[in-house]
Amino acid sequence: MDISQALKIVARTDPGMVRSQNEDAVFANPQRGFVVLADGMGGYNAGEVASGMATTVLGTELDKAFAQRPPHERVAGGKLWAHAALEAEIARANGAIYQAALSQPQYAGMGTTLVAAVFHDNSLTVAHIGDSRLYRLRGEEFQQITRDHSLLQEQIDSGMLTPEEAKHSQNKNLVTRALGVDPTVEPEIRDYEVRVGDVYLLCSDGLNDMVDDGEIGMTLSALAANLELCATQLIQMANDNGGRDNVSVILVKVAGDFGVPRGIASWLARLLAWLK
């Protein structure tokens, strides 16, 4: 099945109940099977600039990269093209944001979190920086796939805080990695198998700081058949609980198989494409 038919995608962003500016940005490319979410930081409108630059650069350049060759192809060293393209374009976005911050005083110190998901050949390649997250609902199991690059996560990992204590910490928004703050940045990039029926949620911390994981999971389970309603409900829940930050969600439901044909199936697929 063509990837644009195999994936159902909904992307939403909302300023929340407290902030006048929306420093989050979302991007979806159903034809190429990838989505990007960024949560900006910085004074004035600098956070909005950083997240907008991140989604624009990645959205434009990944589209070009995957038009050049499909994400599942192997390149030098056996690396997936999805990995190579994400590394290259994240570095490009990082450089663009960093240089803008250096050259324009009003943008000094700006940066953004990032989570990007590329679907290809019944697989998923995820790149993330900071504390924007990717979750997966598979059957009745709802789990966080990414691990925050944050002071809070480091405190949990070291045993200084329990996950329960972390919910009430004052250090929720201190990230240990961000896009555009330093000349170089190291994204965390991982691959996962995908199954038909999976629902993936990318979100800024404006959602998971306001709504606990259990409620998010129950909402996805109840409304997975209607992604538009599900996205609306998740944002509403965050706002009902105070909406102290901008809230962004991208939902991706896997509606069909999008494996790459191999062998005789591949030859037939190419023949049919040529005959069209």
Contact 37, 130 (CB under 8 A): no
Higher-scoring residue by pLDDT: 1, 239: 239
Amino acid at 71: P
Give residue 272's pLDDT band: very low, low, confident or very high (50, 70, 90).
low
Q: What is the reported pLDDT for 152? A: 86
The distance in angstroms from the start CA to the end CA of the chain is 16
pLDDT tens figures, 148-185: 998 888 888 888 888 777 777 766 778 999 999 999 99
Beta bridge partners of 11: 250
Percent of the chain predicted with pLDDT > 90: 82
* 119, β-bridge pairs: 124
Whether residue 266 is predicted with pLDDT greater than 90 in this model: the reply is no
Under DSSP, is residue 165 helix (H, G, I), strand (E, B) or coil?
Answer: helix
- The pLDDT-based confidence of 94 (bands split at 50, 70, 90) is very high
Say if residues 137 and 224 touch (Cβ distance below 8 Å). Answer: yes
Mean pLDDT of 110-122: 97
In whole angstroms, give the CA distance from residue 73 to residue 80: 6
Lowest mean pLDDT among 3-17, 33-47, 184-198: 33-47
Report residue 235 as tokens. 């944002």
Q: How many CB atoms lie within 10 A of CB 211?
A: 21
Residue 234 predicted with pLDDT over 60:
yes
- Interaxial angle between packed helices 46-68 and 81-103, expressed in degrees from 0 to 180 and rounded to the nearest 10: 150
Mean pLDDT score across all residues of the chain: 93
CATH topology of domain 3-275: Phosphatase 2c; domain 1 (3.60.40)
Q: What is the pLDDT of residue 36?
A: 98
Domain ranges in the chain? Answer: 3-275
Q: Which residues of 158-178 are buried (b: 16+ CB within 10 A; e: fewer)?
A: eeebeeeebeeeeebbebebb
* pLDDT of amino acid 217: 98
pLDDT tens sequence across 48-63: 999 999 999 999 999 9
**What per-residue confidence (pLDDT) applies to 153?**
85
Residues with Cβ < 8 Å from 255, sequence gap 6 or more? Answer: 5, 6, 7, 8, 196
| CA 133 – CA 271 distance, rounded (Å) | 41
Check: pTM over 0.95? Answer yes or no. no
Confidence label for 276 from pLDDT (cuts 50, 70 and 90): low
- Contacts of residue 115, defined as CB under 8 A and 6 or more positions apart, other chains included, come to 36, 37, 38, 126, 127, 128, 129, 132, 133, 134, 146, 202
Residues 54 and 114 sit within 8 Å (Cβ to Cβ): yes
- The answer to whether residue 101 scores a pLDDT higher than 70 is yes
Question: What number is the average pLDDT over the span 16-21?
Answer: 94
